[in-house]
C-alpha cells in the first residue's frame, strides 16, 4: 500500500485563510498557503465540505454535490488549487457527505412537492397513533424525526433537521453517490473522506429503542459492507492512486477490520473515536470527567493490535473540526504547553496507521475559552446550550460544559501571525479568533527550531525515513501508570517510544532492551542515552532507534 508513509493535513476552509477579506476562509486562501504546507511536509490535504450548502452545519448539509459554494470560491479556484498543490506533490482529499443531504437539495425539494421517485431517496414515515415513528435521539439533540406538513409525514434526520437521511436501500441513491465520486475523480481528486459512512445502512423495520438512543439500529447497519463494496467497485476501487477514509461513528473494531481490511475492497482506512471518549462520563460527551490516561493506553493498544492482526489500517488523530484541542484536553496549555503538545504529537505519529494533523494542531492551538455563549456558532453547541437551560442548569454551568466540549474549539481562525485577527483576515472573521494568537502563531514558530511546528515537521520526516514507523509491527510494552511505552519493529530495525504523562516518574527498563544499543532520534527534552533507570519529567518524550 502506497499510503503507509503519508501524512494528511485537514483543512476547515472557513477558518483557514481568508484571501478576499470577507471574514470567511476560502479555496484561494488554501492555494496561498501551499508553500507553508509544503514546508511542513504533508502529502494530502483533506478539505471539509465546500459544496453548495445553506451552511446550517458549515457545509455538512450539502445542497449540490457538483458545485462549489460561492462563499469558498469557484470551480476555477479549485482547479487552480489542484494544479498548484500537484507542483508540491500534494494531493487533495474531498469530504463526501453521503448519509444525508440538506433539505435544500433538489431531491428533497422534489420529494416534498410530491415526487414519488425522490420521496424514495429519503425516509418518510406516517405517524401511527399520534406517535413519532421512533423515539431515537438526534446527534444534535431532540428527536430524529421532523414533521413535513406538505406530505403529512415525518422524515428521518440523525443530525440537524435540515440534514435529511438518504435511503441507501434504494439502488438509485447508490447510483447517484457513485456518480458523484466519479465526477470528482475525473476532476483530478485523489482522496476521499466519507462522512459518518457507517450510519448509511438503516434497518428494514424502524422501532423504538428502550435501552439507548437508537444508534444500535443504524450504526454499522445490516447492509453497510455490501454498500461500501459496491461503491468501491463502481468508483475508486479500480484506481490504485486513490486513498479513502471512512468516518466511523460509535463503530466496533470487528466492523473496522472489514471497512479497511486489505483484501476487503471497502476503504483504505478508518477513523474511530473510542480513544477520544476517555474524558466522557458515562460515555456522554456532555458530562465532564478528567481524562483517564490508562484507559487511553488500553484503547490504543487494542486498536493497534487488532487492526494489525487483521491487516486493517487506522487513521490516527487527536484533533478535527468536531473535537476540542488536544493540548487543552490531554496536555497542559499553560506551564507545559510546548512540551505536552510535542508529547501528544509523538504518541500519535509513531503508531501504526496514517496520521492526520488538523489545522493549528501543529502550532499547539488551544481551546477557545470564549466567555459568552454569543461567541459560539456551532449548531450542536447552541442546541445543547438550550437543552441544558431547559433541563434546569444555570447559564454558568451550561457555558462551562460548552466551553469544554464545543466543536467550535476546533473551528476558530488559524493563527498565522500576531497582527489583527491572527493574520487570518483583515476584517472581523465569522467566528472570533482566540485571544492567545499574539503568542501562538505560525510566524513565531517558523523560525524557531525548538517550536511545536518544527517538531511536527520532524515527526513527518521520521515516518518517511524510518520503515519501522511507516510499516513496522506495533508492540506494546507493559508499564506502570502514566507511562506509555511501545515499540515498532521492521525486520531487525526497531523504534522505541517512551512517553510520560503529567507527573515526574522513575522507570526501570528491561535489561535486554538496554543492551540493544538504541540511539535517541527525537525528544522534547534532551537527547539522552538509554539506561535501565530513567527519571522522567512531566510530558517527557523520547524516540529511540536501533538498526
Where in 517-546 is the site for Ca ion (CB under 5 A)?
none
- Is residue 196 involved in binding ligand TEU (CB under 6 A)? yes
Residue of 77, 165, 195, 408 marked catalytic: 195
Does 18 engage in binding with Ca ion (CB under 5 A)? yes
**Known catalytic residue at 57:** no
Q: Which residue is nearest to ligand TEU (CB)?
A: 60
Instruction: Name the nearest CA neighbour of 341 among 376, 370, 367.
Output: 367
Minimum gap (Å) between residue 60 Cβ and ligand TEU: 3
> What is the helix (H) or strand (E) element at residue 182, kind and residue range?
helix 171-186
Nearer to ligand TEU, 246 or 472 (CB): 246
Size of the site for ligand TEU (CB under 6 A): 13
* Residue 149 exposed, middle or buried by CB count within 10 Å (0-12, 13-18, 19+): exposed
Does 473 help bind Ca ion (rule: CB under 5 A)? no
Q: Do 242 and 265 contact (CB within 8 A), yes or no?
A: no
Of the pair 138, 232, the CB lying nearest ligand TEU is at 138
Q: Decide if 26 is catalytic.
A: no
Binding part of the chain for Ca ion, among 23-31, 92-100, 216-224, 441-449 by CB under 5 A, reads 23-31
Q: Which is nearer to ligand TEU, 93 or 499 (CB)?
A: 93
Q: Cell 521520521 sits at which residue?
A: 462
How far is Cα 348 from Cα 459, in angstroms, rounded to an integer?
10
Question: Alpha-carbon distance 291 to 388, whole Å?
Answer: 22
Q: Which residues contact 38 (CB under 8 A, 6 or more apart)?
A: 88, 90
Q: What is the CA radius of gyration of the chain?
A: 23
Q: Which stretch binds Ca ion (CB under 5 A): 16-24, 280-288, 310-318, 532-540?
A: 16-24
Q: C-alpha cell of 470?
A: 511507516
Cβ nearer to ligand TEU, comparing 97 with 173: 97
Per CB under 6 A, contacts with ligand TEU among 41-70 are 57, 60
The correct pick among 7, 8, 11, 24 for binding Ca ion (CB under 5 A) is 24
Alpha carbon distances (Å) from 349 to 5, 89, 317, 342, 488: 11, 21, 8, 10, 12
**In whole angstroms, how close is the CB of 402 to ligand TEU at the nearest point?**
12
Nearest approach, Cβ of residue 407 and ligand TEU (Å): 6
**CB closer to ligand TEU, 199 vs 536:** 199
- Cα distances (Å, whole numbers) of residue 316 to 274, 328, 352, 358, 365: 12, 19, 8, 11, 19
Measured from the CB atom, the residue of 322 and 494 that comes closer to ligand TEU is 322
Residue 139 touches ligand TEU, criterion: CB under 6 A: yes
| Interhelix angle 379-390/395-405, nearest 10 degrees | 150
Residues facing 85 on adjacent strands: none
- The residue count of the chain comes to 547
Residues from 93 through 112 that contact ligand TEU (CB under 6 A): 97
- Interface pattern 149-188 for ligand TEU (x via CB under 6 A): ----------x-----------------------------
Which 3 state secondary structure label does DSSP give 67?
strand
Size of residue set near Ca ion by CB under 5 A: 5
Q: At its nearest, how many Å lie between Ca ion and the CB of residue 12?
A: 13
Closest by CA to 183, choosing from 68, 11, 46, 281, is 68
Smallest distance from the beta carbon of 95 to ligand TEU, in angstroms?
Answer: 8
Q: C-beta of 208: minimal distance to ligand TEU in Å?
A: 21
Contacts of 534 (CB under 8 A, 6+ apart): 498, 506, 507, 508, 509, 528
CB-count exposure of residue 310 (10 Å: 0-12, 13-18, 19+): middle
486 binds ligand TEU (CB under 6 A): no
Please identify which of the residues 165, 247, 279, 361 carries the catalytic annotation: 247
Q: How far is the CB of 196 from ligand TEU (least distance, A)?
A: 5
Q: Which residues are catalytic?
A: 195, 247
Q: Which residues bind ligand TEU (CB under 6 A)?
A: 57, 60, 97, 139, 159, 195-196, 247, 249, 285, 321-322, 407
Amino acid at each position: 500500500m502506497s499510503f503507509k508513509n503519508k501524512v494528511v493535513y485537514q483543512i476547515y476552509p472557513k477558518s483557514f485563510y481568508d484571501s478576499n477579506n470577507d471574514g470567511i476562509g476560502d479555496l484561494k486562501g488554501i492555494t496561498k498557503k501551499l508553500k507553508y504546507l509544503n514546508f511542513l511536509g504533508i502529502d494530502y490535504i483533506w478539505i471539509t465540505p465546500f459544496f453548495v450548502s445553506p451552511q446550517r452545519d458549515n457545509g455538512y448539509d450539502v445542497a449540490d454535490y457538483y458545485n462549489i459554494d460561492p462563499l469558498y470560491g469557484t470551480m476555477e479556484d479549485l482547479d487552480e488549487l489542484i494544479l498548484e498543490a500537484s507542483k508540491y506533490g500534494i494531493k487533495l482529499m474531498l469530504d463526501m457527505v453521503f448519509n444525508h443531504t440538506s433539505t435544500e437539495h433538489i431531491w428533497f425539494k422534489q420529494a416534498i412537492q410530491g415526487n414519488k421517485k425522490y420521496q424514495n431517496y429519503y425516509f418518510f414515515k406516517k405517524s401511527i397513533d399520534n406517535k413519532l415513528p421512533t423515539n431515537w435521539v438526534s446527534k444534535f439533540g431532540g428527536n430524529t424525526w421532523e414533521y413535513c406538513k406538505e406530505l403529512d409525514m415525518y422524515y428521518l434526520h440523525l443530525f440537524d433537521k435540515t440534514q435529511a437521511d438518504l435511503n441507501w436501500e434504494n439502488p438509485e441513491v447508490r447510483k447517484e453517490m457513485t456518480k458523484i465520486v466519479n465526477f470528482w475523480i475525473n476532476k483530478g481528486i485523489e482522496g476521499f473522506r466519507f462522512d459518518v459512512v457507517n450510519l448509511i445502512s438503516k434497518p428494514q423495520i424502524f422501532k423504538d429503542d428502550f435501552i439507548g438512543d437508537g444508534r444500535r439500529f443504524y450504526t454499522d447497519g445490516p447492509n453497510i459492507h455490501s454498500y461500501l463494496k459496491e461503491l468501491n467497485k463502481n468508483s475508486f476501487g479500480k484506481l490504485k492512486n486513490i486513498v479513502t477514509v471512512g468516518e466511523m461513528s460509535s463503530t466496533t473494531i470487528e466492523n473496522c477490520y472489514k471497512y479497511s481490511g486489505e483484501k476487503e475492497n471497502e476503504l483504505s482506512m478508518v477513523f474511530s473515536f473510542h480513544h477520544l471518549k476517555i474524558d466522557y462520563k458515562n460515555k456522554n460527551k456532555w458530562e465532564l470527567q478528567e481524562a483517564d490516561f490508562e484507559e487511553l493506553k488500553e484503547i490504543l493498544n487494542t486498536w493497534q493490535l487488532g487492526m494489525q492482526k487483521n491487516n486493517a489500517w487506522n487513521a490516527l488523530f487527536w484533533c478535527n473540526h468536531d473535537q476540542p484541542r488536544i493540548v487543552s484536553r490531554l496536555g497542559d496549555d499553560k506551564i507545559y504547553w510546548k512540551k505536552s503538545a510535542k508529547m501528544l504529537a509523538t504518541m500519535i505519529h509513531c503508531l501504526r496507521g496514517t496520521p492526520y494533523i488538523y489545522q493549528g494542531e501543529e502550532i499547539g492551538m488551544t481551546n477557545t475559552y470564549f466567555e459568552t455563549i454569543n461567541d459560539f456558532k456551532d449548531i450542536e453547541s447552541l442546541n445543547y446550550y438550550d437543552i441544558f437551560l431547559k433541563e434546569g442548569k444555570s447559564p454558568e454551568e451550561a457555558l462551562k460544559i460548552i466551553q469544554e466540549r464545543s466543536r467550535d474549539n476546533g473551528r476558530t481562525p488559524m493563527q498565522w501571525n500576531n497582527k489583527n485577527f491572527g493574520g487570518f483576515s483583515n476584517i472581523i472573521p465569522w467566528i472570533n479568533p482566540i485571544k492567545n494568537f499574539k503568542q501562538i502563531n505560525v510566524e513565531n514558530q517558523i523560525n524557531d527550531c525548538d517550536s511545536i511546528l518544527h517538531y511536527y515537521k520532524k515527526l513527518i520526516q521520521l515516518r518517511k525515513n524510518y520503515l519501522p514507523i511507516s510499516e513496522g509491527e506495533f508492540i506494546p510494552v507493559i508499564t506502570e501508570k502514566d507511562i506509555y511505552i511501545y515499540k515498532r519493529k521492521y525486520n531487525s530495525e526497531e523504534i522505541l517510544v517512551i512517553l510520560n504523562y503529567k507527573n515526574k516518574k522513575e522507570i526501570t527498563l528491561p535489561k535486554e532492551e538496554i543492551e540493544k544499543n538504541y540511539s535517541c532520534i527525537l525528544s522534547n527534552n534532551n537527547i539522552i542515552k538509554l539506561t535501565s533507570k530513567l527519571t522522567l519529567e512531566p510530558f517527557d518524550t523520547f524516540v529511540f532507534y536501533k538498526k
